[in-house]
Amino acid sequence: MAGKLDRGSFPADGSGVLSNTTTMKHIVHAARDRSMDPGPLGAVLPFARAVVDAGHGGDNFARLAVHYLEGRS
């Protein structure tokens, strides 16, 4: 992941952010339906959705770090 961040290039090595976001959404929904805290997935899901909405759904999950850091500056 560090190499991708250093290069600013985020090709997905397997599944991209969109695929991971879909899975995360199902897990968070199932947890909440059972009155369980979705924990870190619930916290990361809005960042992942924003990355997908920005057109980077096919990128590696490292793209989330860039999105997070850009939002802080």
Quote the CA–CA distance of 13 and 33 in Å, as a whole number: 32
pLDDT value of position 73: 58
Asked, for residue 53, whether it belongs to a domain, the answer is yes
Asked, for residue 5, whether it belongs to a domain, the answer is no
Residues in contact with 60: Cβ distance below 8 Å, sequence separation at least 6, in sequence order: 1, 4, 10, 11, 12, 13, 16, 17
State pTM to two decimals: 0.80
Asked, for residue 63, whether it belongs to a domain, the answer is yes
The total number of structural domains that make up the chain: 1
Asked, for residue 28, whether it belongs to a domain, the answer is no
DSSP string covering 43-61: HHHHHHHHHHHTT-TTB-T
Asked, for residue 29, whether it belongs to a domain, the answer is no
**Contact assessment for residue 64 and residue 17, using Cβ atoms and an 8 Å cutoff:** yes
Q: Which domain holds residue 50?
A: 36-73
* pLDDT tens per residue across span 3-43: 887 887 787 888 899 999 999 999 999 999 999 999 999 99
Asked, for residue 21, whether it belongs to a domain, the answer is no
Mean pLDDT to the nearest integer, 50-63? 92
Asked, for residue 30, whether it belongs to a domain, the answer is no
